[in-house]
Amino acid sequence: MAMALPMESNPETMNKYLMKLGVSDKWRMVDVIGLEGEALTWVPQPVLAVILLFPLSDSYEQHRQEEEKSLLKKGEQPPKDVFHLRQVLSNVCGTIALVHSVANNTPTIDLQDGLLKKYLRDAEGLDAAARGALLENSTAILDAYKEIMLIGNAEGNEANDVVNNHFVTFVHKDGRLFELDGRKALPIDHGETTQETLLEDAAKVCRQFVEREPDNIGFTVVALVPNH
């Protein structure tokens, strides 16, 4: 199995990685500088996906387990047209978040032939656990990120140690807002949304994450948007 480096949450690094994976420069990640009001209006539209980076903690783990238990008790089934994969390795949640962002927005994103398109083709028909195993055995995808980090470090940029942080993705699918988390058994349905209100609706859920962690300040939000 390939070794993975923890993902940085800065959009510049993410954009280099997306391009290596076959996403055209028509799309890019940008920082979301705040989760309310005017800060959200600065983000270009349409927003295709929102990614939240936050510190892994006991309260997250407790909430995750309770949420999962409740969903499984209800007999919830994963929505068929939502692409979700499970995480096995500890350091690949950033890559998973980017894959969730792109995979749930094809064909809006005209994905070019390359590493990610091949992975998505190979992952068709697999369940979330098998998709996760396939990704984490995709040496080329993990190595593509390593190459970016090695070049960055050669230029004198220090890689942030984000091993204890976690990424989750929010996407719009069929009028619903889904949270996609590689550590959760199922996509989490957060209710109604539209392409136009995805950012605002995802920001509300992100605020709930922040409220559950009053002592933590390590929250970062980025969005996948057109490169105007």
Point out the residues that are catalytic: 93, 166
Opening angle at CA 198, ends 30 and 14, nearest 5 = 25
Listed residue (89, 86, 88) closest to 99, CA to CA: 86
Listed residue (108, 141, 105, 107) closest to 122, CA to CA: 141
Rounded to 5 degrees, what are φ and ψ at 179? -95, 125
Helix extents (H) in the chain: 11-21, 38-41, 58-74, 93-103, 115-123, 128-136, 139-154, 198-212
Strand, helix or coil for residue 152: helix
Residue 76: Cβ-neighbour burial (10 angstroms; 0-12, 13-18, 19+): middle
